[in-house]
Amino acid sequence: MDRRQRKTREAIFKAFIFLLSKKNFNNITVGEIIEIADVGRATFYAHFETKDFLLKDLCGELFDHIFSPETGNSNGNIFHCEGQDSVFLHLFKHIKKNDNNIGKLLASKNNELFLEYFQRGIKGLVIKNLADFQHKKPELLPENFWINHISASFINTLKWWIEQELQQPPELITEYFLQSI
Amino acid sequence: MDRRQRKTREAIFKAFIFLLSKKNFNNITVGEIIEIADVGRATFYAHFETKDFLLKDLCGELFDHIFSPETGNSNGNIFHCEGQDSVFLHLFKHIKKNDNNIGKLLASKNNELFLEYFQRGIKGLVIKNLADFQHKKPELLPENFWINHISASFINTLKWWIEQELQQPPELITEYFLQSI
DNA sequence: TATTTATAGAACAAACTGTTCAATATCAAA
DNA sequence: TTTGATATTGAACAGTTTGTTCTATAAATA
């Protein structure tokens, strides 16, 4: 990708993230974004069809490479971390360290926007690690209900942790998560 | 309340609900609402400050009386139902029967809007019925984490049920919910 | 260097928002 | 039924926001 394009994209994302930390997604205007990003109006629309697509692209940028094991770039990909922590402990650690600003975004006013997207990735993770949970599953429950329940519980644990301002150590949160299911 | 006001309010809510079933909240305009509700623009703004307040009022209309035990009107208040079903089974039954259109709204494109509001009420219910769940709670977990977990699991069960298009009977869903926690 | 591609920035129509006002219709109470 | 209060209408309005189009300029690429 052209360096100019990369710079523009970066600037827009940065401005957008800044605004998301200040106000509601609905109340953010393209005018504000381009003013802070310091790019032309036409440039914005050359990159993003609408504000909604900007959000979608940002989510992709933030989460997709985290969850896809095929990525060549090891930066931020949880599968390339050393140590033998569970993937879930890993995730909690990354969030606490605020890698890629994910922690901040997940704690912002607009966190539902990101949590929803985030949960999809988690679901994939749960499916990959399903064996670890299989012995806990009550027999009555359908498998897809169970998968849903685990990923939702992860997100819910995360939400609770964020409300507590990430005070607890990731290890304890992982314990809470595992105990709750 | 003046009969005229009641009619106007009703018409606006109805139009709004109709539109919510068709498209995204963000893409619904006041112009569309008043056209379908067949009321004047000034009238709309005499009733609701903005579109967001309309949503908030609708949620209040739908859920508040369901969860407040002090209401004089027994219509739709789950505490006034006969029989000795658990409150949770009761709720699932009401949703399946689509009382007050709640079932449809919770299944619409914009269900997150309502589910979020709904969960607040559920949380209150869980606190009231906490004794029933206390023996299931792992000792390690803080009480507010546990309350959060139960209400989130209820909402999550409901979401899953909606995805399955409410095929399962309420009794089975209640079982799933109870087993999952 | 020459060519391709991205950006700036201004100008634009179209749509939407929220307010105002005077005329009209409906209500509730005497 | 009459009266006074109140709600609704419909149009007009300024102020925003959106998404597009255009030309001139700047930066990347080969």
Domain range list for chain B: 3-48, 84-180
For residues B58 and B41, what is the distance between their CA atoms, to the nearest angstrom?
A: 19
pTM to 2 decimal places? 0.87
Helix (H, G, I), strand (E, B) or coil at B28: coil
Per-residue pLDDT of chain B (181 residues; tens, 9 = 90+): 899 999 999 999 999 999 999 999 999 999 999 999 999 999 999 999 999 999 999 999 988 878 876 544 444 444 445 555 688 998 999 899 887 788 888 888 889 889 989 999 999 999 988 988 888 899 899 999 999 999 999 999 999 999 999 999 999 999 999 999 8
For residues B88 and A49, what is the distance between their CA atoms, to the nearest angstrom?
A: 44
Q: Write down the pLDDT at residue B72.
A: 41
B140, B159, B179 ranked by CB distance to A138: nearest: B179
The nearest CA of chain B is from the CA of A176 a distance in Å of 6
Residue-wise pLDDT for A73-121, tens only, equals: 444 454 445 555 688 998 999 899 888 788 888 888 889 889 989 999 9
pLDDT at A71 over 80: no
Q: Write down the pLDDT at residue B42.
A: 97
**What single-letter amino acid sits at A73?**
N
Give the closest residue to A158 by CA, choosing from A114, A106, A82.
Answer: A106
- Average pLDDT value for chain A: 88
Q: Is A133 on the interface with B (CB under 8 A)?
A: no
Q: Is B171 on the interface with A (CB under 8 A)?
A: no
For residues A180 and A156, what is the distance between their CA atoms, to the nearest angstrom?
A: 10
The superfamily in CATH containing domain B84-180 is: Tetracycline Repressor, domain 2 (1.10.357.10)
Question: Residue B75 contacts by C-beta under 8 Å, 6 or more apart in sequence?
Answer: none
Buried/exposed B41-77: b ≥16 CB within 10 Å, e otherwise: eebbeeebeebeebbebbbeebbebbbeeeeeeeebb
The superfamily in CATH containing domain A3-48 is: Homeodomain-like (1.10.10.60)
Is any atom of nucleic acid chain D found less than 7 Å from the CB of residue B3? Answer: no
CATH 3.90.1010.10 fits A63-180, yes or no: no
Give the percent of chain A with pLDDT over 90.
66
**Is residue A30 a contact partner of residue A44, using CB atoms and an 8 Å limit?**
yes
Distance set, CA A76 to CA A68, A98, A169 (Å): 11, 11, 20
Q: Is B73 on the interface with A (CB under 8 A)?
A: no
Cβ-in-10-Å burial (0-12, 13-18, 19+) of A56 comes to middle
Is any atom of nucleic acid chain D found less than 7 Å from the CB of residue B36? Answer: no
For residues A81 and B181, what is the distance between their CA atoms, to the nearest angstrom?
A: 32
End-to-end C-alpha distance for chain B, whole angstroms: 45
Confidence tier at A173 by pLDDT (50, 70, 90): very high
